[in-house]
Amino acid sequence: MPLTAYSTSQRAELDVEQTLKRLAAEFGQPYTSVDAIPEAWRAYLRTDLQCPSCFVNGAEIVRSATKTGKASRQSFFRFTTPGHRPHCDFGSPETANTVPENLVLLTESKSNLTRAVRELVCTGIEQGVFSQVSIRDMREWFFNKKVASLFAVTLDSRLFTWISALQENMFRSSGALPGGVALTPEIAALPQFDWRAEAARRVMERYPQHEANMQAIMDRRIAMFGDSGKRAQSLSQRFNGRSVFDPAVLVNEYGKTRSLAEFIGHNYAPLKAAKGGAGTASVLALSALLLFVRGWDVSLAISDFVKIAAAVGGANKNLGNVMGLNPFHDYEAWEILKRMQDLKIAVPDNIDIQAERAAIEAELRQQFSARPMAV
Ligand SMILES: [Zn+2]
């Protein structure tokens, strides 16, 4: 459930405390606690506030309960009537009380990097380069892009493990008999005959499509073996059968955001000095925002950035009380997932290649009365 909501009358993103303070001033009536909010205020908030992800109305203020049922100090907004739109970041029980992974809370400034980005955001707002309205509009733009480009995750997450095991097995087959040469008792009698390599070669024969699959993966430059590949595997497991955002529709925007983030991370001292740099969510969120307000024109975005950087210092910190959007959270992993899924590779029931190889090796050794394999 969101900790902040967008006020259409204030054209700003507010948390519960800020919202109630404003209403107290407006209605000329103090408030004592979240439990004693006048009905008139509640009615007003139901039409004024929007969900920060899907922009429905119907906000209610609730006090979050701790696990023991005790009321805690943190309050948040709930949107039950008419309720979130499908695919809202706050729509699932999974996201209750959490900040969705693609939203960047700039109010939390524990790290030097986030503080530096917050400073840039506040200055950018003060300079009129962007506003809380443009930040809100960017989220709406992203939400609409997302719901217009959904695809269902059908990828079998075991595909990653299976292909890696086959690759490993292929390396183990080096030094085996060339294809088409029969294994004879004389060959098997070679004291150094490599049974494991021969077994590995026979495993490869069972999966003749592997070479074509690997070729397709390489031709499309799908980086399935790195960290993003691991993340893609876990996403395919977690989101199996669910509809998710297709990253392909933002491929141009992603490329531009990355290069702007790299430029900023490299050429702005406070970010260069901080850990993380260009790949960090807050830097990506700022870069995407600079581009969004300029229709994704990189030159204009860079001149805006230079203008902001020159004016940094002394901006009102409260201006940065916003939830930025990093539309490219896990972008590479989602891209790998989608592209692997598009290859439509069928995964067999048994993907334990190591066990398969060991079974073949044991069988061969028995057939040629060789000594059993070393354990
Ligand atoms: Zn929503």
Of 143, 13, 152, nearest in space to 77 by CA:
13
pLDDT at position 47 is 95
Residue 69 CB-density burial (10 A; 0-12 exposed, 13-18 middle, 19+ buried): exposed
Cβ atoms of 257 and 279 closer than 8 Å: no
Q: If you measure from the C-alpha of residue 279 to the centroid of ligand 1, how many angstroms do you get, rounded to a whole number?
A: 27
CA distance 318 to 125: 11
78 CA to middle of ligand 1, Å?
Answer: 9
Q: How far is the CA of 104 from the centre of ligand 1 (A)?
A: 16
- Mean pLDDT of the 120-131 span: 93
Instruction: Tell me the CA–centroid distance for residue 344 and ligand 1, in Å.
Output: 33
Task: Give per-residue pLDDT as tens, 148-173.
Answer: 999 999 999 999 999 999 999 999 99
> Omega before 82 cis (within 30°)?
yes
296-317: pLDDT as tens digits: 999 999 999 999 999 998 777 7
Residue 46 alpha carbon to ligand 1 centre in Å: 13
Is 169 in contact with 204 (CB distance < 8 Å)? Answer: yes
Cβ neighbours for 100, distance < 8 A, ≥ 6 positions apart: 53, 89, 90
CA of 54 to the centre of ligand 1 (A): 4
pTM for this entry? 0.83
CA of 96 to the centre of ligand 1 (A): 11
Cα of 79 vs centre of ligand 1, distance in Å, is 7
pLDDT band at residue 276 under the 50/70/90 scheme:
low
State whether the Cα torsion 25-27-32-35 is positive or negative: negative
Q: How confident is the model at residue 321 (pLDDT cuts 50, 70, 90)?
A: low
CA distance 164 to 205: 16
Rounded to 5 degrees, what are φ and ψ at 162?
-65, -45
Spacing, Cα 62 to ligand 1 middle (Å): 16
Cα-to-centroid distance, 4 and ligand 1 (Å): 12
Give domain limits for the chain: 1-99, 158-240+345-367
Q: Name the one residue in this structure whose structure tokens are 């991370």.
A: 265
Q: How many CA atoms lie within 13 A of 23 on its CB side?
A: 23
What is the Cα–Cα distance from 197 to 176, expressed in whole angstroms?
5
Q: Report the separation in Å between the CA atom of 334 and the middle of ligand 1, taken as the mean of its atom positions.
A: 22
Tokens of residue 241, six digits: 């059968």
